[in-house]
């Protein structure tokens, strides 16, 4: 499963990219606003740090405006993916871009039939928001499973990008459900390394090694 970082914090993305485990980055208007930096400079720096797909979201609400914004965003770097909302206008713009072989990430997906429409519109990625569904008393991971079944039934190439991920459990469940990718906040990524038994085991190994008085180098 591909792991994307959901952030517009350039120094933090740079640090995580050094692990070699980051396959891409997703951004959105809220994350750009939180960064407090110019959108084009921020995206340019992220694209230079991560060679994989970097989602940049259009903010227009009509397809013509989305397409105009897409042109400006695509000029930033070859690894830019245009992020569009799952609305009628967004899907219209998606279809136009997909016909030009432009990669599109359709976001704000909350139902399997929405995901079906996005795939028919030629989306490269569909972003189901599992955490927000959980917050509203629904099962976000059931949506991932439903989309997986539908896409497999009809041979759609659209990749399932689990989004709105709250914790490591969501990452595990998304992988088990067959998501192609997951986009996670930096804190969730660093938490994937952590387990109390790993920490305890390492502490014991180091203590025992120190008692031998030996050195490897």
Catalytic residues: 83
Geometric angle at alpha carbon 23, from 22 and 24, rounded to 5°: 100
Q: How far is CA 157 from the centre of its chain?
A: 17
Dihedral sign of CA atoms 140, 146, 152, 157 in order: negative
Residues constituting the chain = 217
- Taking Cα atoms as reference points, which of 141, 77, 132, 142 lies closest to residue 108? 132
The span from the CA of 75 to the CA of 128, in Å, is: 27
């Amino acid at each position: 499963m591909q792991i994307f970082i959901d952030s517009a914090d350039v120094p933090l993305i740079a640090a995580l990219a050094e692990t070699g485990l980051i396959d891409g980055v997703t951004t959105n208007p809220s994350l750009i606003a939180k960064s407090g930096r110019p959108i084009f400079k921020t995206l340019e720096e992220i694209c230079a740090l991560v060679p994989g797909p970097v989602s940049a979201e259009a903010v227009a609400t009509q397809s013509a405006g989305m397409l105009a914004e897409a042109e400006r965003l695509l000029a930033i770097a070859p690894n830019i993916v245009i992020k569009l909302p799952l609305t009628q206008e967004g899907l219209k713009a998606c279809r136009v871009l997909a016909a030009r072989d432009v990669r599109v990430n359709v976001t704000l997906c909350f139902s399997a039939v929405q995901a079906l429409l996005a795939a028919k519109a030629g989306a490269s990625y569909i972003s189901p928001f599992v955490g927000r569904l959980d917050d509203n008393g629904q099962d976000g991971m059931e949506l991932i499973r439903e989309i997986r079944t539908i896409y497999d039934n009809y041979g759609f190439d659209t990749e399932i990008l689990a989004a709105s991920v709250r914790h490591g459990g969501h990452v595990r469940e998304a992988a088990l459900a067959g998501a192609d990718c997951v986009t996670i906040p930096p804190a969730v990524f660093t938490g994937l390394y952590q387990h109390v038994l790993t920490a305890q085991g390492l502490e014991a190994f180091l203590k025992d090694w120190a008692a031998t008085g030996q050195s490897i180098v």
